[in-house]
Structure formats: C-alpha cells, structure tokens
Chain A
Amino acid sequence: MPSSSAGLMGKSFAVYVKDLRLELRTRNALNAILMFGVTTLTVVSFSLGQSNLSPKLWAALFWVIIFFSAMSGLAQTFIREEETGTSLALRLTADPDSVYIGKLVFNLTLLSTLAIIITPLFFIFTDAPTGNILNFILVLILGVLGLCSATTIVAAIIAKASVKGALFAVLSFPILITLLMILVGATEKLFDGKMLADILTELQFLVAYVVIMVTASFLLFKFVWEE
C-alpha cells in the first residue's frame, strides 16, 4: 500500500519526532530532569551562592547538577517503551539503527534544554566565575554529547530490569566517571581564566570520548535492543 520509502535518517527522524511528541504530551522525562536540576541549583545557590569557593569547587558543583539531573531523566525514553508495552511493536517494525539514532538525538534535546535553562541560572544565582563564555559553551556542548552518548546505551540495557533507577546509576557511573573528571578539570581551568589553548588535551579527550561512545553504542545497540 505505502508508496515511497524513507532512509535511515528519515526513520531516525520519525523515532525522534515520536519521542518528542510523547514527551511534550506527557512531560515525564522533562519534568524529572528540570525539577532535579532546579532543586539542586536552588540548594547550591542558597547554601553556597555567595561563598568564595575555588574554581575547582564551582566546576564540580556545576557538573554534579547536570550529571544527577541527567541521571533522573535520560533513561525514560527506553523505560517508557518497556513500561507501556510499545517496545515490542517498535522492535518488530523499526530497524535498530534508526531507534538508536532517534533516541540519542531525543536525549540530546532533553539534556540541551536542561543545560540551556540551568547554565544561566547557575551563573546568576551563584558567584561562580564565568571565564571565557564561548570556551565554556564548547566544553558544555561536548559534556552534553558525552553524557548522552554514554547514558543512551546504558538506558537501553537497563530498560528491562526491575530496579531500573539504581541500575542506571550503577552502570553509568564507571563509564561516566572519567568523562566527569575531565569535564570538571576543563571547566575549572576556564573558571580560573585559562584560554582554549590551555584545555586542548581535555578537548581532545572529550571529542575522542564522544566518537568512541557513539560508534561503540551504534555497533552494540542491535544486540542490546533485540535481546
């Protein structure tokens, strides 16, 4: 019956639009992420906002907020499919590559939304130094990419488990710890007034991390999804 056919990008886009539409109608993941982010930021702001903390501490606090907010919502895209029983239909119809790409881009959208809201608030409500804002945005983009590339595959793995939340954090932690340390290190240097040339090693690591995670996840996702 149907006429023309959609390629991988068209199918991935359909998965992305479907998830975005469902999210806008139910707001499960978005509410969880934003509530966690705003609550943590409020606590940090009230308790440490005017403190004269070192750049390292401000950097760590910033990434702790982003990390735990991500943990509270990024797994939802796969958990929702399992809990509502729709994963079966998706598994039978869609090819795994398009599901992975669609869900990765959806998670990127979610975390970018969080970062866009939380980052200015963080600098407004705390005395954290801004450093070079463009360089900071570059690190932030790579951080969001890194977090999403790692957590999307972990979310697919834990979606069928009974204790999803705990398992998500436990499995993500060893994969993300290095990423977080590098992100905190790079952000600390930027808060300390250093320039792009001073964080080149960190940037190289972040780019390599994203490329490796996305490639490995793309290759492994079929087996995770179909098992």
Chain B
Amino acid sequence: MNKLKVTEISKRFEARKVFSKISFELETGQSLAVVGPNGSGKSTMLKVLLSLLRPSRGTVEFMQDGSPMSDGQIRSAVSFVAPYLNLYDHLTAEENLKFFSTVAGSNVTGKEINSLLAKVGLEGRGQDFVLGYSSGMKQRLKYAVALLNNPKYLFLDEPSSNLDEAGKNVVNDIVEEYRNESIIIIATNEKEEYSLAEQLCRVNG
C-alpha cells in the first residue's frame, strides 16, 4: 500500500504567492485532480509534489507500507507525463523506451516495448525517430515511457494535451487500468479530464 502525504505545502516565487497551506493524503486506489485557471499554479504544485521544486513551506512524503520511501524507491515508483517533459528527438521510440527503462533500473524486452507502443497507439512506429513524430504522437510516447515501471504514483499534467479523440481514449484507458493500483494526480482545467479523478483540489494562485 502506497501513500502520498502532503502537509501544509506553500509555494512562493519571491513576492508572488502561488498557493499556500495545501494538505491532503492519498492512498493507492485514490485519485486527485488539481484544477484552476491558467497560471494558477497547477503545474507548479505537481513539480513541488515531484520534488522538482522545493516548497516554500510544508512537506511531501511518499510512503510504502507505512515507511517513508527512499529517493531511489520514489524514482522507480513515480511516473510523470506533461507537455513540457520532452523525450530524445534524435533517438527512436524504441531507443527512448530502452534508455528510460535501463536508467530506471530495469531491462525492458522487445516484446514488452511492442506491447507498450500498441497500448498507446504507436504500433509499427517504434523504429522511427521521435523527431519525426507529431506532437500527439510524442504525447502518446510519453505515456508509454510513463508505464515502463508500472507506476505506483502517476502524475499527469494536462493529460490530453495535443491528443486527438483516439489519444484521449488511450489516456482514459490508462487511468482506468491504473486506478486501483496507483495514486493518480491530474492537473488540468478541462472538465472531462478532472472528472477522471475522484477528489478535487482547487488552486487559485
């Protein structure tokens, strides 16, 4: 059983307050949507939760069976998809998947790569350079990378960004598949996206 315990986190950029004193606790099987208008601090909040930014105050704890997780455990349990998270354009999709799998400490097989690519609708495109992908295909590939480690924590920032209807269905299917075995946090201002989560956290920075 995994847990994410957020205690009174606040974030300021010099004089500007982004959000303050946000607390929540999520367990495996629970999901949360972080909503708010553009520039309200949704992405900032996700970055704080992912330790990519330091909170001005408060703490974020990743726990497994009641014990705090180490940095390495967190890295292998967390996956993140965002429009501003880029993969390597000059590697093929397969090379990207193999690389991220290896540095995450595992070794994905060719069969598993094909299965992941099929899951996100990129079957037969594994040998293509990411440079030649459309923005929607790149977004789908990010999901394939995110699913490499069977994430226990799935962070999605604007999950349907750049995706067509079929791509949005892929996202819905992934969220449904991982709903019971992961903690899912979605940052969005699209109603159809935040309706994927059970709980809501509104930020108005």
Contacts and interface: CB of A to CB of B under 8 A. Distances in A.
Q: Do A and B come from one complex?
A: yes
Interface in B81-125: 82, 84-91, 95, 99-109, 112, 116
A26 B112 CA distance: 29
A104 to B, nearest CB: 15
Contacts of A89: 85-87, 100, 145
Given A6-B107, A10-B102, A88-B86, 18 more contacts: A2-B107, A2-B108, A2-B148, A3-B107, A4-B106, A4-B107, A15-B103, A18-B88, A18-B95, A18-B99, A25-B90, A84-B89, A89-B85, A89-B87, A92-B78, A92-B85, A95-B71, A95-B72
A15 B91 CA distance: 13
Interface in A1-47: 1-6, 10-11, 14-15, 18, 21-22, 25-26
A88 B85 contact: yes
A85 interface: yes
Given A1-B148, A25-B90, A88-B85, A14 B102 contact: yes
Interface residues of B, number: 36
A111 to B, nearest CB: 22
Closest 7 CB pairs of A and B: A2-B106, A85-B86, A94-B103, A14-B102, A2-B108, A25-B90, A5-B105
Contacts of A4: 106-107
A162 interface: no
A93 B104 contact: yes
Contacts of B88: 18, 22, 84, 86
B83 to A, nearest CB: 10
B150 interface: yes
B150 A1 contact: yes
A98 interface: yes
B202 interface: no
Contact of A11 (B52, B102, B109): B102
A13 B149 CA distance: 20
* Most A-side CB within 10 Å, residue of B51, B103, B105, B116: B103
* Most B-side CB within 10 Å, residue of A86, A93, A95, A98: A93
* Most B-side CB within 10 Å, residue of A1, A10, A88: A1
Nearest to B54: A227
Interface string B47-89: 0001110000000000000000001100100101010111111
A90 interface: yes
A108 B108 CA distance: 29
Interface of A is mostly: helix
B69 to A, nearest CB: 14
Contact of B95 (A21, A26, A88): A21
B89 A92 contact: no
Given A5-B106, A21-B95, A95 B86 contact: no
Contact of B100 (A22, A93, A226): A93
A22 B91 contact: yes
Contact of A6 (B102, B116, B145): B102
A120 B91 CA distance: 34
Contacts of A84: 86, 88-89
A91 B90 CA distance: 19
12 contacts: A1-B116, A1-B149, A2-B101, A2-B109, A2-B112, A2-B148, A5-B106, A6-B105, A6-B107, A11-B103, A91-B52, A92-B75
Contacts of B109: 2-3
A15 to B, nearest CB: 6
Contacts of A14: 99, 102-103
B125 to A, nearest CB: 18
B103 A2 contact: no
* Most B-side CB within 10 Å, residue of A3, A5, A18: A18
A83 B135 CA distance: 18
B154 to A, nearest CB: 12
Given A1-B148, A3-B109, A88-B84, A93 B103 contact: yes
